Copies of this chain bind each other. A is one copy, B any other.
Amino acid sequence: MIYFDNAATSWPKPEEVYKEVEKTLRNCGNPGRGGHKMALGAGRVIFEARQEIGSLFNIKNPMRLVLTSNTTEALNIALKGVLKEGDHVITSSMEHNSIIRPLMTLKQKGIEVTIVKANGEGKIDPEDIKKAIATNTKMIAITHASNVTGTIMPIEEIGNIAREMNLIFLVDAAQTAGVLPIDVEKQNIDLLAFAGHKGLYGPQGTGGLYVREGIEILPLEEGGTGSKSESMYQPDLMPDKLESGTPNTPGIAGLKEGVKFVKSVGVDSIRRQEEKLTKILIEGLKEIKGVKIYGPQRVEERVGVVSVTLKDKDVGEISYILDKDFNIATRSGLHCAPLAHSTIGTLRTGTVRFGIGYFNTEEEVEKAIKAIEIISQKTF
């Protein structure tokens, strides 16, 4: 299998991830809920994961890092835990439904939502965000890079605006954690939601949310936390406040190893490798008649998520042929981001998406280009 669906979930994972998941599953108890060796072992694994992830994003206090089951959960906690009736939030037309759908629910509860429109390449103008700020604006919620066009958003500039205007800055790093440098201090990020199973090479079922000290946030779920067991009320201490119930210890253990792998290779090297492959893919696809590539053409302005259409050919059919005839995995359709497709003009057709990962090779990219060339000549 030539795997180009890394934007959905990365594959393969580093060998250590598989091994650590198995080891933990075979040996670990329930963390924070018992004093015996196995429970303590589980607690240690989770604390180490918090430290590893924390240091990758320059999070000083690992206890501000909440482990979730995916980015969606992290974003829901961030949006619903912070925004109250009468608050205003600014977001963009390039967001995934994991931001848009919770915001539509919040809108029904009296939260005002402004969706700043990106241009045809999926770029947001920070000036447009600045213009949208009102007296009741509380938060700016922006993806770090689009899952449809790969466009990298100007989060430094937006972060500066947020800091200057005293707004809470939420960044959706589903496509960028492990792929682009993230520094919550330098980038003024107050809330960082990320996936564990994409660029951090952990297992599915993992993700997280960083919550800056001082941000007032309520949990979405209450329950057993192993702390303040004598109380009928959710404890206020972090991360317990936002982490109820038995955690996914084996998954978190795997994520820890994924993050260690990312650090050992280095985010910069990963980025260079993905940039190189993305460049080859874009240059190659450009030469094929009928192919339209969405998002910025310059690789410096995008991550390795490449959406294409092929004249009037059905994108589902293209992905099907890529899989069946060429053993190439892509994803086709609307990628859970209808507004982004509206923005780039593909709401009706969808796109075929190539999601490049660190483990892809030049040879694989060449094969994909060749396959698209052959498909472009087919009639269907």
Which residues of A approach B to under 8 Å, CB–CB?
Answer: 1, 3, 5, 8-9, 11-13, 17-18, 21-22, 25-26, 28-30, 33-39, 69-73, 75-76, 96-98, 100-102, 104-105, 195, 197, 203-207, 220-226, 229-234, 244-251, 254, 316, 319-320, 322-323, 328-339, 347
Contact = CB atoms under 8 A, between A and B. Distances in A.
A82 B207 CA distance: 27
A75 B13 CA distance: 33
Contacts of A224: 72, 96-98, 101, 336
Given A34-B330, A38-B329, A102-B223, A204 B338 contact: no
A98 B245 CA distance: 7
Question: Residue among A26, A233, A336 with the most chain B CB within 10 A?
Answer: A336
Given A104-B222, A248-B251, A229 B97 contact: yes
A229 B333 contact: yes
Given A25-B203, A35-B332, A205-B247, A30 B12 contact: no
Contacts of A323: 35-37
A54 B30 CA distance: 26
Nearest to A101: B222
Contacts of A331: 33-36, 39
Question: Residue among A3, A25, A234, A323 with the most chain B CB within 10 A?
Answer: A25
A36 B73 contact: no
A18 B22 CA distance: 7
Given A36-B328, A105-B222, A232-B338, 8 more contacts: A1-B38, A8-B33, A75-B223, A195-B246, A204-B250, A206-B248, A248-B251, A250-B251
B245 A248 contact: no
Contacts of A229: 97, 333-338
Contacts of A222: 76, 97-98, 101-102, 104-105
Question: Residue among A18, A71, A100, A203 with the most chain B CB within 10 A?
Answer: A203
A234 B76 CA distance: 13
Contact of A251 (B12, B97, B205, B245): B205
Q: How many copies does the complex hold?
A: 2
A35 B323 CA distance: 8
Which 7 residue pairs of A and B lie closest in terms of their CB atoms, listed nearest first?
Answer: A205-B248, A72-B245, A224-B336, A72-B223, A101-B222, A98-B223, A229-B334
Contacts of A76: 220-223, 244
Given A29-B11, A69-B248, A76-B220, A34 B22 contact: no
A249 B102 contact: no
Contact of A248 (B5, B101, B204): B204
Contacts of A5: 29-30, 34, 36, 38-39
Contacts of A205: 69, 205, 246-251
Contacts of A244: 72-73, 76, 98, 101
A104 B12 CA distance: 44
Contacts of A245: 69-73, 98, 207
Nearest to A77: B221
A249 B13 CA distance: 14
Nearest to A206: B248
Contact of A204 (B18, B36, B249, B320): B249
A147 to B, nearest CB: 9
A97 B232 contact: yes
